[in-house]
Amino acid sequence: MTLAGTGDRGTVSAAHHERRISYIVLAHNSEAHIAACVCSLLEPPGADADEVVVVDNGSTDGTVAILDDLAVRFDSRLAVIRLRDNQGTTAPRNHGFRAARGRYIGVVDSDVSAPPGVADTLLEHLVSDATIGLVAPAMTYRSGELQMSVDTFPTLPRKLHRYLRLRQIEAAWRHRAARGPTDVDYAISAFWLLPRHVVERVGDLDEAIFYAPEDVDYCIRIWAHGWRVVYLPGCSVLHDAQEISRGLPVKRVALSHAAGLLYLYRKHRFLLTRRRLARRLRANPMARTDES
């Protein structure tokens, strides 16, 4: 099923809950990954009640043809929304939210493949605790190394430190990575699972952010509404780390990311430390986060 991209605004519709999980997959020139991604979500046992909504961000490679073939194979369980150009990460995913019919919403990057059982494990954990607003699995690179896919809220010093010493930070994080379910400030939006009512309450991704850090903003808003963001390292997905910014000029990506960060700092009123943000979130009796 192919849908035209529209400019309609608003949150995910609550009109129909015909599916278990609706996965929103964002694609751009993803011919190397999109088939594996979609099949990993729709082929496992129990996934016959799930659907995938692919939002194609103006691909110019073979992605569209691959999606056409997959649409024949999966029929109504695969919907494709085609946009004319690369519109970043927020507006395209919001299109997907509004097309979703599931009781649960998955946000997935096209370069992710999920082994059988991942969705069931995440869903079981999500259903077991009403205070959880978002659950995310561990992620591994193709090399098998664990990706640092969760972190504390990114203050300016933290971002500069990550920029200069990412490999060392990631290596140190692997040694002390959580072994069981853990509350985290935020998880990158390569694989999220949320109850539909959380998306309806928190609302759309903020389209004032073109590329990043839309995931940080959304997790802050989940915490602010009284739900928790939980990392579940007991299950993992493969993240081959394609970026939706691929195909955009490097300068434009860098400027967009910097603009997004400045917007995030203004919106949530933090910059050099996360303590004030943590205190504001903690003022909600259900919102729990450390001040470190």
pLDDT band at 289 (very low <50, low <70, confident <90, very high): very low
pLDDT of res. 177:
81
Task: Write the secondary structure of 137-196 as one string of H (helix), E (strand) and C (coil).
Answer: EEEECCCCCECCCEECCCCHHHHHHHHHHHHHHHHHHHHCCCCCCEECCEECCCEEEEEH
Q: Has residue 135 got a pLDDT over 50?
A: yes
Fold adopted by 2-282: Spore Coat Polysaccharide Biosynthesis Protein SpsA; Chain A (3.90.550)
Q: Has residue 137 got a pLDDT over 90?
A: yes
| Residue listed under structure tokens 């659907």 | 51
Q: Using alpha carbons, select from 211, 153, 210, 159 the residue that is nearest to residue 187.
A: 153
Helix (H, G, I), strand (E, B) or coil at 41: helix
Q: Using alpha carbons, select from 128, 111, 129 the residue that is nearest to residue 237.
A: 111
Q: Has residue 4 got a pLDDT over 60?
A: no
Q: pLDDT digit string (tens) for 73-97?
A: 999 999 999 999 999 999 999 999 9
pLDDT band at 267 (very low <50, low <70, confident <90, very high): very high
Domain ranges of the chain: 2-282
Average pLDDT over residues 173-197: 93
Average pLDDT over residues 106-110: 98
Q: pLDDT digit string (tens) for 149-160?
A: 999 999 999 999
